[in-house]
Amino acid sequence: MSFDQNAYHSFVLEYKSPKGESVVGIFPKKRTLSSGRESFWYWNGRKLLDYKEPMVRLAEFILDFCEDNGIMPDYFLNVPEGVTKLTDHINMELGGKQAQVRAKPKEHGDPRDAYFNGPVEEGDRVVIVEDVTTTGDSLAAVLEKCLDAGLNVIATICECNRMEKAARGKGDDRKDFDFGVAEYIAQIRNAGTRHYALTDATKILPVTFELWTPPEGVEKSFIAEELKKEYEDHGIVPMELEV
């Protein structure tokens, strides 16, 4: 099947975990994300991996997307440990190697043993998966490990690109760039690796905001203005939301 972005949007917007948690949504108050940046909106694709049915559906979307874009690898790797269950499932479907990136590398040995679990070999064609791309820092670190091991990283891919400025480092040591994650990834070691996203903030955030009903005491126009300021501050695209 071909990748259907409208169907993908419906899937992530309509999904609710048994506890009522959403994949994508709006915060009534600004919160700090794992990247260290603050935001009024979130993407938590890991909620799709807690049960078989949504995980299988997400895997189908990713495989269809990769097939359409000609980036089907020998196997998939991921930023540890966010979507390991997903890449394990996809690799099982592909029927090939079962490999993972180590969360904590071994202190010595060949990079393929230090950084990976599984039969990783030089020249293997891989795609690196991340649930959501914000600064690209974690994704870049895994790409570096793969290049050290002699892997042919044909692409990186995420469920959603927040369309923010790329950055290196965390906290006070973070250095923000003036360009997005796609350009950052392409520059790593001059490898030219292309970064793909099943969707991005320009496509999914306006729809999410339109569907969102604010709690009592929160003005939707205020959140719209704050999201606009977010993207003026650290976005790579403008963000105008209709109230």
Chain segment 79-91, per-residue pLDDT in tens: 998 899 999 999 9
Cα-flanking dihedrals φ and ψ of residue 129, to 5°? -110, 140
pLDDT at residue number 215: 95
Torsion 194-125-46-101 (CA) sign: negative
- pTM of the entire predicted model: 0.95
- Where along the chain do its domains lie? 5-234
What's the Cα-to-Cα distance from 186 to each of 77, 111, 130, 164, rounded to whole Å? 18, 22, 16, 16
Mean pLDDT of 125-148: 96
Q: Which CATH class is domain 5-234?
A: alpha beta
* Cα distance between residue 101 and residue 118, in whole Å: 9
Longest dimension (CA), the chain: 58
Work out the pLDDT band at 34, boundaries 50, 70, 90. confident
pLDDT at residue number 110: 80
| Structure confidence by residue, pLDDT tens digits, 176-194 | 999 999 999 999 999 889 9
pLDDT at residue number 1: 80
